[in-house]
Amino acid sequence: MELKNKKWTHDEFYAIREDILKQWPTGAEVDMAEAFKYHETIPAKKHFAKRLVKAKKNGETLTQPRAGVALINEHINLLNFLRTEGEADLLPTTIDSYTRQNQYKEAENGIEESKRAGRSLLNGFPAVNHGVAGVRKVIESVDGPLQVRHGTPDARLLGEITLAGGYTAYEGGGISYNIPYAKSVSLEQTIYDWQYCDRLVGIYAENGIEINREPFGPLTGTLVPPSVSHSVAIIEGILAAEQGVKNITLGYGQCGNLFQDIAAIKALEQLADEYFAKNGYNDCVLTTVFHQWMGGFPQDEAKAFGVISWGAAAAALAKATKVIVKTPHEALGIPTKEANAQGLKATKQLINMLADQPFPLSSEVQTEIDIIKAETRCILDKVFELGNGDFAKGTVSAFAAGVLDVPFAPSKYSLNKILPARDNHGAVRLFDTGNLPFTQDIIDFHRIKIEERANSEGRKPSFQMVIDDIYAISKGRLVGRPNRS
């Protein structure tokens, strides 16, 4: 295996495909030529990429939940409930944890135990075990565009089965489904495995079947600076485009400061257009997804709705193409379908109310756009340099050097040197910039912002600020101020 950002030939792809399909018996159900014909029968209103293109053209922000249970009929009922009662524009199939770790035997046991218990004992839908036929039952029974959402370092068999089954969107990437999810899986391996997934989508595209691909934007979901998540999103987007993917959604996780969040989506759009064009990928449709707050939530449902609504407002004002919606049970575990629908309806209400209200591009927002773009360019250009013009190779070297670094990541391949904290207005800055390849003026910018907050709170800049900010929203604030009572 030689890792490089170069489009796989058909021979290279098919040389390993047979072994992938043998990882579990349902792999034998996959017939790619037949799958192409099946996709041609899927109506446009259930086609994920087409719905995103329409939303981008019309300036809409679409809603999408997370959801998945163990058994086919129950999963269908859940998705139809979220479509009708929750008014969801786009629908997910969240995959269970066993499947994410390629533990298909354990997933099979979970299916059988769920049947005996009469309720789901898995935290998602085990698509590999249900196979192409089972997946198609879901596709044909649900009236809406469907996407696979998971968290799988090696998602090759899952991709084969769900795409053959009729899913028109597939989430994840070799960085974003490794660094925040795994401890000891090498980046070389996951980037290579995800090149397979992207080449698979590219082959579908060559046969007239457009599948949407979405790197996972929020990463660890805990105070991730926009420039860090943007760098990963753009790299994964470029890696996908090289393999022939034509419809890509780049994501960002809410930080909480309205100006910074709006600026982040604007900057992501501008940077993606810039770097895709610079690297020769001019035929990709690019859209954006805004993830509502991914950190700690209040346990009180009313307070949780406040957090959800703030994320909805930010997504709507930023004009993100879609928003991933949280539930008022976020702090309590897997939500009921009713709670999931409530989060969706609250979000839809905010989006509808703000649909005709443009957010003025103030000097504060423009300043944030400028700093995010400057930081992201520093990172991306250094990654490109480290890879001698190859983003795949450069990514591996960049993480080893800390040029790319994700805060609070479990992976041993992330140095975890950077430490984020909020400034005095709640924007996410860096208390410690680690080895990020920032210019001195950017490093000084972060230091000054942290010092301004520390001075206003009557304390010295310290790691305690980081800790305070991690728990702040669950305690009812955005900035983790010291208790002066």
Of 171, 236, 269, 368, which one is the catalytic site residue?
171
Distance between CA atoms of 70 and 125, rounded to whole angstroms? 5
Burial class (CB in 10 A: 0-12, 13-18, 19+), 120: buried
The pair of structure tokens assigned to 132 is 């192409």
Place of tokens 């996709």: 39
Pairing between β-strand 91-94 and β-strand 419-422 as defined by DSSP bridges: unpaired
Per the annotation, the verdict on 66 as an active-site residue is: no
DSSP letter at 420? E
- Sequential DSSP letters for 228-285: HHHHHHHHHHHHHHHTT--EEEEEEE--S-HHHHHHHHHHHHHHHHHHHHHTT--S-E
Distance between CA atoms of 146 and 420, rounded to whole angstroms? 35
Question: Which three-class secondary structure state does DSSP give residue 462?
Answer: coil
Of 100, 156, 199, 213, which one is the catalytic site residue?
100
Per the annotation, the verdict on 100 as an active-site residue is: yes
Distance between CA atoms of 365 and 425, rounded to whole angstroms? 13
- Read off the amino acid at residue 268: L
In 3D space, the residue among 157, 135, 160, 132 whose CA is nearest the CA of residue 23 turns out to be 157
Radius of gyration of the chain (CA): 21
Question: Which three-class secondary structure state does DSSP give residue 415?
Answer: coil
**Which residues are catalytically annotated?**
100, 171
